[in-house]
Chain A
């Protein structure tokens, strides 16, 4: 019965098998995304990507979505002469620009703390490397500040999402990417957990990129910034002149 269901599941995921090497299946876990590219077009308001997969043996599934790392400066304000001023800063060399976790059951029930730390699962287990050594207490408060800000802007997930188990072998989860999703190459990590330990894992890349007119404007602004500046001015001059002419007649 289980074997038949597994085969049906495998057929259901038909297209997947063409691309996934046999070695992965041997580990008892296979997963893929409904698409490997998120395009940020002019009307982009955020999007969902479907993650689906099959496991050979029963277990729980944890999904971690990581955006590309980026140097991030965290600044702290304090009151000077009645106004709030940035007075100190810590730079983290490798803060993920996006981070979210989803699981079929609360992660704390599935994995021991040591394992969560090792696989960097959960906001408390992110490895944020400060560029300069400092007092650990101070670093901890800046680290917490970074995570709080990222959660507030929606790029770090505070609450874990849901991974739905469909019978003993299939699972699916909807990964949400908000409108302000940072661009770059993401890694979607899928862990199969049983009896408190990770027995299998798979990583799938996902590319988030600007597309269409927006992408061209962005690239142009960064590659030919002088020409971009001149064109921006010309467009403004033309628009202003046009507005003047149109409304004179009205």
Chain B
């Protein structure tokens, strides 16, 4: 059964979209990530233009994050103060990102920047995660190996404007979460992702937040950043396809439930190693897209602005 997507202006099979939503939802439930970094490339692969894929995916991430945050709030795993500060940075960053997006689109370099961002971030984070999870696995087998220090002091801790975050038990410069929020906001606008896969490691390793707090707090601020991206994309580029976002969402919520149930059966290190492999696979796919000679060196852009 085909469904016509009014903004993307193509017909796609409804079951394909539900299946994509379900599959990515399963992985996001399994690993506790938003899944935007998988969905946006999949949409582009299915024939949706990158512009519409990125903007509509931001809209879908809003919904996915809301249901996630509800679950984490109930368990008291959201640091609203930290979330608020990250969010301030994120709003400015995503505004800047949408502006950058329009300029790159007019220059004809948007696809390239999207692909390069994916390669860079997925490659780096996938590799780091894989190394980390293999190490954790080894440590579990050999418990006598030295443990990492819980809290390391770096030059970040010398920055001014220190603020106390009671829930996360941190006393750090406000500039640090603001900067991280800003940076992830830009990525969110350009890559059509919530940015959890960058935000979560940054919160753990740069801010030193307790791991328990990280996912809920990250999701909390992602709601607002992706809502901001949705709004700005709708106003500036008219590329948000509600029909597409809703169809993906319908598959996504069901998939996420199965995923989170399945997650309990696997050890955490194996989960992280699996996620690292998925992340790397998407990164490699993107590299191939950039390196392999395209079948046609010429491409069209009908909607390009003057």
Contacts and interface: CB of A to CB of B under 8 A. Distances in A.
Interface of A: 40-46, 70-79, 82-86, 89, 91, 97, 141-142, 144-146, 148-150, 152, 179-180, 182, 210, 213-215, 217-218, 221-222, 225-226, 228-233, 235-237, 239-241, 243-245, 247-248, 250
B131 interface: no
Given A70-B302, A240-B64, A228 B234 contact: yes
Interface centre among B111, B245, B294, B298 (most CB of A within 10 A): B298
B249 A239 contact: yes
Nearest to A91: B304
Looking at B233, B300, B304, the one whose CB has the most chain A CB atoms below 10 A away is B300
B234 A229 contact: yes
Given A43-B1, A233-B59, A180 B108 contact: no
Contacts of A243: 63, 67, 249, 253
Contact of A86 (B62, B64, B112, B249): B112
Nearest to B14: A43
Contacts of A230: 231
B300 A232 contact: no
A232 B63 contact: no
Contacts of B223: 237
Interface stretch (B2-10, B37-45, B174-182): B2-10
A237 B66 contact: yes
Contact of A244 (B7, B67, B245): B67
B281 to A, nearest CB: 19
Interface of B: 1-7, 9-11, 59-60, 62-68, 70-71, 108-109, 111-112, 223, 227, 230-235, 238, 240, 242-243, 245-246, 249, 253, 257, 290-294, 296-302, 304, 306
Contact of B302 (A72, A210, A215): A72
Given A236-B59, A239-B63, A84 B234 contact: no
Contacts of B245: 232, 236
Contact of B291 (A70, A82, A86, A222): A82
Nearest to A230: B231
B302 A97 contact: yes
A75 B66 contact: no
Contacts of B9: 180, 182
6 contacts: A84-B294, A86-B299, A214-B243, A225-B238, A232-B245, A240-B66
A43 B63 contact: no
B240 A221 contact: yes
B298 A142 contact: yes
Contacts of B227: 233, 236-237
